[in-house]
Amino acid sequence: MARVSQESEFLRLVRQRCNHDTAYPRPDLMLLIIFLGSNTKSSSTVYSQRHAPLEASDADGDAFAVVCDIGTGTRTCFGSESRDVVLFTNGAPVLKPSIVFLRGYASPDWINAIGWRLNLGPGLFQRHLNFGAFRGFRNFYCTPSLPSASTRVFQLIEEWETTTNLKLSSGSERKSLHPCEITPKIFAPQARIADSVVRECILLNQEDFVLEQLLTIEVGSPRDDWRMAIWLDQGRDLAQSVPGPWCSERNSRSWQTFFHPATVSDANNDSLRLNLHEKSSFPQFIDNGLDWRANQNLCSLPFEYGFRLNRDLAQQDAYFALKEMLHFAASAEVQCMNLFAAQIERELHFIGMGNDTKRNQDSLLNLKYIKSHLVRHKQYLANTVIVLQTCHRDDWPSVEAPRNCPRNQNIVDYEYLTQRVEDLVKECEVGMTSLANSAILSEANRSYKMALHLRKLTIIATIFIPLSFVSGI
């Protein structure tokens, strides 16, 4: 009964923020309130032989919450079953700086428990659940918010490049898919706790497509036991989660569809002591008979996070505790930018070569399509740069950085990515202008040829029409 009252207290606090009778109402939280108050199977009615959190060795895949002690690197994992909510809520409080990783889909019970136990505001859940996209409800146009509202809660975008030998669609049929938006699927019976979430599937050509996923981060206030919450879209392997167009076909071989791993390199520590990508799905050209797996290496990061951190510095400064995650996201982003650049070059390759109007029209639409995604990426990157530039002034847990650990390393990376996106957007615009001019020139040439034909027809008519008239008389 204590746990139920605690969850109700968190729901009550969120409901107060949504009150329309105040000067600062938050009507955008209404859908979060509806979700938190929805009926789910009570965790207190489930019992089993296990009365302790999962062992880290057994948690990879089924764990929803992973509590990581920054100073020691020890981890406490809580599974996706309802009894784990009870273990999480009734567990001993963490008295040291820690990072709490949340993986994949969540239930109302889990959100209520996490919000109460970690003393989180509604911002983390409201942004990550992305309720504004839920169809049938009023859109208050509250996102994206002002930079000042993103100092403690912000999002990083993650892209996963995927290649398949199976033909997806023709070039003229490429379009942006929203197969697994989290708000409809949260209520879907086929979505389980800790299943991976796919925000968008971007088809680039008949073989390559990109999956977009998000990380939502909330940094706590400075204190001796400060905490950071990181909610990942990555949970179970995509092969075991809600199906979508990214899954391999039933009769295809396991190596025909594979995910490129996020290749993370570090100039200061590029040793082979820690291999984060040993489970990544490089193409295996020998069919081993195993079932297909996406094997996104970010799924394993909560269980290995911190091996590249300066732990003494990280437990005093939230920026340095987040540094490894920022570098991971930047590495995935630059791979996505490289893929977009290759696709733009491919679309522009045939400009000025012949008068293939259909090809030019397809390339023009594809460049417009790529540009729309680049502009959205630019928004995420620009917001991240603002957060990193102001985090030491926004009441984050922080200390004076030593000379050998400057704060601007990640800022330089994200400023580079922002400039790279701007360059690619300009390249798309120049290509679209060239294709439009080529179409205009092609139309002018067709009009000129038509005029020549009409001139010949006029000459012939001038001679034969009078003759026809005279012969008719």
* Mean pLDDT, residues 142-165: 80
* Mean pLDDT, residues 157-183: 54
The average confidence (pLDDT) of the chain is: 76
pLDDT band per the 50, 70, 90 thresholds, residue 55: low
Query: What letter does residue 150 receive in the DSSP assignment?
Result: G
* pLDDT, position 175: 43
* pLDDT, position 375: 92
Higher-confidence residue of 231 and 308: namely 231
* pLDDT, position 222: 86
- Supply the DSSP string of 69-114, one letter for each residue: ETTT--EEEEESSHHHHHHHHHSPPP-S-EEEEEES---HHHHHHH
* pLDDT, position 108: 87
**SS3 letters across 407-435:** CHHHHHHHHHHHHHHHHHHHHHHHHHHHH
Statement: residue 427 has pLDDT above 90: yes
Statement: residue 173 has pLDDT above 50: no
In percent, the amount of the chain with pLDDT more than 90 equals 16
Statement: residue 43 has pLDDT above 70: no
Task: Dig out the tokens for 224 from the structure.
Answer: 């001796």
Contact present, 300 and 306 (Cβ < 8 Å): no
* pLDDT, position 167: 54
pLDDT band per the 50, 70, 90 thresholds, residue 272: very low
User: What kind and span of H or E run contains 59?
Assistant: helix 56-59
* Mean pLDDT, residues 108-120: 86
Statement: residue 8 has pLDDT above 70: no
- The residues spanned by each domain of the chain are 2-441
Higher-confidence residue of 198 and 429: namely 429
pLDDT band per the 50, 70, 90 thresholds, residue 138: low
Statement: residue 424 has pLDDT above 60: yes
pLDDT in tens, 358-400: 778 888 888 999 999 999 899 889 989 988 888 877 678 888 8
pLDDT in tens, 314-347: 888 899 999 889 999 999 999 999 999 999 998 8
* Sequence-ordered list of residues with C-beta below 8 angstroms from that of 451, at least 6 positions apart, any chain: none
> Beta 227-232 vs 176-177: how paired, if at all?
unpaired
* pLDDT, position 258: 77
Higher-confidence residue of 235 and 472: namely 235
Higher-confidence residue of 194 and 407: namely 194
Q: Write b or e for each residue in 57-78: b if 16 or more Cβ atoms lie within 10 A of its Cβ, otherwise e.
A: eebbbbbbbbbbbbeeeebbbb
Statement: residue 2 has pLDDT above 60: no
* pLDDT, position 354: 59
Can you tell me the distance from the alpha carbon of 130 to that of 75, in angstroms, rounded to the nearest whole number?
28
Higher-confidence residue of 53 and 336: namely 336
* pLDDT, position 353: 64
pLDDT band per the 50, 70, 90 thresholds, residue 277: very low
Statement: residue 48 has pLDDT above 80: no
Total-model pTM: 0.81
Query: What is the SS3 assignment for 200?
Result: strand
* pLDDT, position 404: 66
pLDDT in tens, 220-236: 888 888 999 999 998 88
Backbone angles phi, psi at 392, to 5 degrees: -75, -10
Task: Dig out the tokens for 180 from the structure.
Answer: 């697994």
Can you tell me the distance from the alpha carbon of 263 to that of 339, in angstroms, rounded to the nearest whole number?
14
- Integer CA distances (angstroms), 202 to 162, 312, 340, 445, 459, in order: 10, 41, 11, 36, 55
Residues in the chain, total: 473
Give counts: helices (H), strands (E), the chain.
12, 9
Higher-confidence residue of 150 and 473: namely 150
pLDDT band per the 50, 70, 90 thresholds, residue 437: confident
* pLDDT, position 229: 93
* Mean pLDDT, residues 97-113: 90
Statement: residue 286 has pLDDT above 70: no
- Supply the DSSP string of 127-143, one letter for each residue: HHHTGGG-TTS------
Contact present, 384 and 154 (Cβ < 8 Å): yes
Can you tell me the distance from the alpha carbon of 250 to that of 131, in angstroms, rounded to the nearest whole number?
33
Can you tell me the distance from the alpha carbon of 104 to that of 234, in angstroms, rounded to the nearest whole number?
5
Statement: residue 116 has pLDDT above 50: yes
* pLDDT, position 418: 95
